[in-house]
Structure 1
Amino acid sequence: MEKEEGAFLTISELAGELGLPQHILRYWETRFPQLRPLQRSGNRRYYRPGDVALARHIHRLLNVEGFTVKGAQKALGEARRAATPAPPPPVDAPLSDAALLARLETIRADLARAIGA
């Protein structure tokens, strides 16, 4: 019986899908802090859809593309940093006149939309 897409997978189901022994997935959990399945009573692991996607990505990096564990860690870290938007400048940071004017125009437009809504 096959589970629906998005269902939680046990470690044995995920290991079977990836063609790996279960201890490899447990090892990956120690090396890739992003991989954190739910653990229920008796330390039974349940991989959420995000965990499954991450495990598939790690598997592809290590076993298909030939990365080392350290290289895969670096690749995942770079991908995460690239996906994270840069934080806005602190409020007390001095702005140039052009940047200040652009910021004030954005605030004016936001206020106009709020009043009009």
Structure 2
Amino acid sequence: MKKRIPDKLFYKIGETSEIAGLPPHVLRFWENEFKCLNPGKNRTGQRVYTRRDLEIILRIKELLYEEKYTIAGAQKRLAKEFGKGRKPAADSKEVLIRVKKELKNLLRELS
């Protein structure tokens, strides 16, 4: 069953935890284990997750809890699905485009 992800640019760890149905310490542990999961941090140092991060988290959960992969097995599978490195620049560009669009909409509303 696919989990519905609310349409937002960023999600704090509490929101991410609630959406994924996982405690925050599991999310922090997975950041160390899965290179493709790399949330940013805001000015106050809080983790901020993107929609892509949430999709990766839900995929990790599916691999570990439903398909019974080991962490090593899930790492290999995710490396094939999402690539070996950190988030590509294209993902960042997509976020910037969405931010720009939202800012333009806000500007129109305020005018």
Task: Using structure 2 for the length normalisation, give the TM-score.
Answer: 0.64
Opposite residue 47 of structure 1, the aligned amino acid is Y
Task: Give the CA RMSD over aligned residues.
Answer: 1.8
Whether 1:21 and 2:23 are equivalent positions in the alignment is yes
Q: Please point out which of 48, 67, 92 is paired with 1:65.
A: 67
Q: CA deviation at 1:76?
A: 0.9
* Number of equivalences: 79
Q: Which residue of 2 aligns with 1:7?
A: 9
Choose between structure 1 and 2 for higher RCO, CA contacts under 8 A separated by at least 6 residues: 2
Q: CA deviation at 1:4?
A: 4.5
Deviations 1:48-102 (Å, cap 9, x if unpaired)? Answer: 1111111111111111111111110011112246xxxxxxxxxxxxxxxxxxxxx
Opposite residue 26 of structure 1, the aligned amino acid is R
- Aligned partner of residue 66 in structure 1, secondary structure: coil
Identical pairs, percent: 34
Dislocated runs of 4+, deviation >6 Å: none
Q: Can you give the 5+ residue segments of structure 2 that lack an aligned partner in the other structure?
A: 84-111
Alpha-carbon distance in structure 2 between the residues aligned to 1:57 and 1:64: 10
Say if 1:78 and 1:33 are closer, same or farther in 2 by CA, change over 3 A. same
Alpha-carbon distance in structure 1 between the residues aligned to 2:50 and 2:25: 18
Task: Using structure 1 for the length normalisation, give the TM-score.
Answer: 0.61
Q: CA deviation at 1:41?
A: 3.1
Q: Which residue of 2 aligns with 1:90?
A: none
Alpha-carbon distance in structure 2 between the residues aligned to 1:41 and 1:23: 21
